[in-house]
Structure 1
Amino acid sequence: MSRQMSSLLAIAAVCVTLTPAPAFAAQTPKKAPVDCEQVKCIALTFDDGPGKYAGTLLDTLKKYDAKATFFLEGQYVKSRPAYVKRMVAEGHEVGNHSYSHPDFTKSEAATIKSEIQKTQDEVKKAAGVEPKLLRPPYGMADLQVSDIAAEFGMPMVLWTAGSEDWKTKDVKAIQKQTLAVAQQNGIILMHDWVKQTVDGMPSLIKTLKNKGYHLVTVSEVIKKENLEPGDIYPVPAGWEK
């Protein structure tokens, strides 16, 4: 072997020895799912969107590591698909709230089915998923609506209490009402088209967290209910399952 070749081999050996082993990227540990039977949970739900303030709301939810559920109208999903895509990407839940918000109890079966299906299609187009939960417009349902929801494989989820944001449109009033009706495994009705709701959300989330609440999706709150397609929860007064 030539001296030059020996030198080259020696240099190569030194380089191999000195080359550090590839560093493995640090793995971010996955957060354990919240068990709402063990901790205090509450689900904030936003109807009729995505509204034009949804981006600001999503920024706030991300900042405070809070999850929410958005019951979407297909007509607004169609006009604001990027918000829906972001909702799903950031771990929020999306539900079906019809396409154009008619009263299902005053609608023909074909209309109800069309309203649900068109919204399913728009959400799938925007975010690649289909909602698993239905919230009928105005919270109005009857046995026909229940049967159609069952055909779509969807339980219906209403709310335990409302923020009354659509009526007051006042930050302090919305916060006060929400805190007054907050309860363990509560489902709170809100709207992301109400600017005052979105404006007051940072303070409201901080207060709820200080009170020990975990802000989770509706599905986490209702998990223990084992709802079947067509079931409604909470059950309205006078409703027969």
Structure 2
Amino acid sequence: MIHGLITASLVFAGSPAAAVQAKVDCAKVKCLALTFDDGPGKTTPALLDVLKKERVKATFFLVGKRVAERPSVARRTLAEGHAIGNHTYTHPWLTRRLDDDIIRELQTTQEAIKDATGLTATMFRPPYGRTDDRVLYLANQYGLAQVMWTGTTLDWDLRDAKKIKAAVLRLAKRDGVLLMHDTVPQTVKAMPGIVKELKKRGYHLVTVPTLLGVKRLKSGTSYP
């Protein structure tokens, strides 16, 4: 089953994300980054509706093939101030692939995101979290920093809104990066309650670039 950072000045200078969250200083307030892999999918617009209504931002790692299928959703994601990263074109297990295959997966996704949104992605997340020094070296050739996570909800397996919400609340911590999937309907269903409870607990829900603050994601480096 499909699993599924960089400052505003590096990736989104002049973008909605930079404008909206520039005032959030995660060194002074309690921040948390919600990240979503594998989209854009059928349920992504509904998730974007929730995030827009709640006035929070997230980070989306996009599958190139799905960007090509739903370019308007990718454009909307960026336009509404969310951060975007590369999640390969067909979602393969990269450490099992030849160098040329890895390069093709990253390059074609870079092109798909650029064509759809005008953005040159500078971060990526390896499918299934499967990575090694070779993958990181090849990603560096495309100016990509690797973004992992501090906790995964396993929403793709749970498939239950209440359990997914409970997982998020259990994993939430200051400066955390949580992994979810916008292609899981139950995750989208759980999101209004998740956001409300996290806000109640004092969290500022921000993009990964905002979470890093003055730090810089460097190409070929893995975070967090």
**When the two structures are superposed, what TM-score results if normalisation uses the length of structure 1?**
0.82
Using the alignment, how far apart are the partners of 2:20 and 2:105 within structure 1? 37
User: In the alignment, residue 174 of structure 2 is paired with which amino acid?
Assistant: Q
Is 1:112 the equivalent of 2:94? Answer: no
- Select the residue among 163, 172, 189 that pairs with 1:173: 163
Measured at CA, do residues 49 and 30 of structure 1 come closer, stay the same or move farther in structure 2, by a change above 3 Å? closer
User: In the alignment, residue 91 of structure 1 is paired with which amino acid?
Assistant: G
Is 1:70 the equivalent of 2:60? Answer: yes
Is 1:61 the equivalent of 2:51? Answer: yes
Residue number in structure 2 paired with 1:126:
116
Using the alignment, how far apart are the partners of 2:210 and 2:20 within structure 1? 17
Superposition map of 1:94-173 within 5 A = 94-173=84-163
Using the alignment, how far apart are the partners of 1:134 and 1:220 within structure 2? 16
Q: Number of matched residues?
A: 206
Residue number in structure 2 paired with 1:232:
222
Q: Measure how far apart 1:32 and its partner are.
A: 4.8
**3-state secondary structure, aligned to 1:49:** coil
Which of 29-38 and 110-119 deviates more? 29-38
- Select the residue among 153, 163, 182 that pairs with 1:192: 182
Cα RMSD (Å):
1.4
Looking at both structures, which has the greater relative contact order when contacts are Cα pairs under 8 Å and sequence separation is at least 6?
Answer: 2
Q: Measure how far apart 1:167 and its partner are.
A: 0.7
Measured at CA, do residues 92 and 125 of structure 1 come closer, stay the same or move farther in structure 2, by a change above 3 Å? same
**3-state secondary structure, aligned to 2:195:** helix
- Select the residue among 29, 32, 52 that pairs with 1:42: 32
- Select the residue among 192, 195, 208 that pairs with 1:218: 208
Using the alignment, how far apart are the partners of 2:135 and 2:53 within structure 1? 38
Q: Deviations over 1:14-70 (max 9, x none)?
A: xxxxxxxxxxxxxxx977521111111101000011121000000000000010000
Using the alignment, how far apart are the partners of 2:54 and 2:158 within structure 1? 25
**When the two structures are superposed, what TM-score results if normalisation uses the length of structure 2?**
0.89
Residue number in structure 2 paired with 1:93:
83
Measured at CA, do residues 141 and 86 of structure 1 come closer, stay the same or move farther in structure 2, by a change above 3 Å? same
Is 1:208 the equivalent of 2:198? Answer: yes
Which runs of 5 or more structure 2 residues have no equivalent in the other structure?
A: 1-18
Q: Measure how far apart 1:143 and its partner are.
A: 1.1
Measured at CA, do residues 57 and 101 of structure 1 come closer, stay the same or move farther in structure 2, by a change above 3 Å? same
**3-state secondary structure, aligned to 2:38:** strand
User: In the alignment, residue 33 of structure 2 is paired with which amino acid?
Assistant: A
User: In the alignment, residue 135 of structure 1 is paired with which amino acid?
Assistant: R
Measured at CA, do residues 111 and 32 of structure 1 come closer, stay the same or move farther in structure 2, by a change above 3 Å? closer
